[in-house]
Chain A
Amino acid sequence: MTTLDELFASRIAVVVPEAVGPTLAAELRARLLRTGYTRYALLDRGSYDVLAGPDEPALITALTGIATRVTGRALVLAEARALRLGPGDYLLAHHDRLHDDHPVELMLDLSAASVPGAEVHYRQRGRAYFRFASQPGAVSVVERGPAVTCNHTYVSKRHAGASVVRLIVLLRDAEEVDRRREEAEQEVARLRAEIERLKR
């Protein structure tokens, strides 16, 4: 019999060190900066800079390759974003979304330097079971179960000038993405039909 703990432990959560070098990381940080971050500050949830959908197809393809090798799954991009946290910033677990289809989340640390205590925690029922410490150039690969949440820990104000930059890539099984696209298209068609009906 498989216990819940065995199921829990079987999920993949690993750190791949040196996925990108410091030169490429610096180029990526500069490009993200040029594209521009947006400040998020609903403080009961988080305090950080965010850039949705960064235009980095080559990098994301390379990261998807890493995830495929680590998990053995055929994965495609579902969404990506970049976060930047400075002293005093954080992102709380209840601000994170739950996923019921076991997607794979990659987190690439693009920071220029390691920031003590600035970690990403994956939690199951509130308990942190996987910690990705500040490690420039490394990428974490995590298969997210349906009860898993993630938080970015508080960046201490004692580290003046610290800047944590993370590229977050969510990957889903290709079939799942097709299924979701089909569902979305059906929903759009249903709404269009409803609008037409109301017009009449």
Chain B
Amino acid sequence: MWRFASRGSGEGRLAEAWRAAQPFPHLVFDDFVAADALPALFAILEEEPVERYEGDIFTFEASAPEPHTEEFRTLRASFGNTLAPALSRITGKQVRSADMRAYAYRVGHYLLPHSDHQDGLGRVLAYAYYLPSPEPPEGGELELFRCRLAHGELVSTVTALLIEPRPNRLVVFDVSDVSLHQVREVLGGLRISLAGWFYP
């Protein structure tokens, strides 16, 4: 299902692109899922319930941290098993598994700036895969910030890059103290994604 570089093919270029990416290491893959595999993917997602989550930094709908259906669990495992070996080689960070939740950002939903990095959680790489939407979203871009640290504290945060949530696009990015990013408010339509982290 997942169209990712097979061992060796283009990994050197991807590793270079990873290291050179600004404001922090990231990669963007378009046409990530074969078109003829999308209906099967949607069929799995349709069975996975989502509910509204609200905190001081987010408002969105999402599936539960642990999937309800065996099919979604299998999808999660297949995603992690397929990508982890190649991403380990490309990023130089050893990862073995991934978690996965489905997200629906409706009008007015957002995820404010944060780094994903928390001691003890073991998040090494973050990812988001944008699904084709029946109502293409307006807004909802992934925004990456350039941060400056002084004595371990953030002292400056500046917008550096906007990544559109284009359908069938995968974004993978580094998790660190300075991997500050946000999902901009969705101003129209519906933004559907699968997202999570890779772990050692």
Contact = CB atoms under 8 A, between A and B. Distances in A.
A86 to B, nearest CB: 13
B159 to A, nearest CB: 9
Contacts of A188: none
B157 interface: yes
Given A92-B112, A158-B108, A42 B56 contact: no
Nearest to A91: B56
B155 A42 contact: yes
Interface string A85-124: 0001010110000000000000000000000010001010
Given A41-B157, A44-B157, A121-B56, A157 B185 contact: yes
Nearest to A94: B56
B185 A156 contact: yes
A156 B115 CA distance: 22
Instruction: Please classify the interface of chain A as helix (H, G, I), strand (E, B), loop, or mixed, using the class held by over half of its residues.
Output: loop
B24 interface: no
B115 A44 contact: yes
A71 interface: no
Interface string B78-121: 00000000000000000000000000000110101111000000
Nearest to B185: A157
A123 B185 CA distance: 23
B114 A44 contact: yes
B56 A151 contact: yes
Contact of B157 (A42, A154, A156): A42
A154 B185 CA distance: 10
B64 interface: no
Contact of B145 (A43, A92, A123, A151): A43
Contacts, number: 43
A92 B55 CA distance: 10
A90 B139 CA distance: 18
A153 interface: yes
Contacts of B113: 43-44
A7 to B, nearest CB: 24
A117 B115 CA distance: 25
Given A154-B185, A156-B108, A157-B185, A92 B57 contact: yes
A41 B113 CA distance: 11
Nearest to A93: B56
A26 to B, nearest CB: 29
Contacts of A43: 112-113, 145, 157, 180, 182
Contact of B108 (A88, A92, A117, A121): A117
B162 interface: no
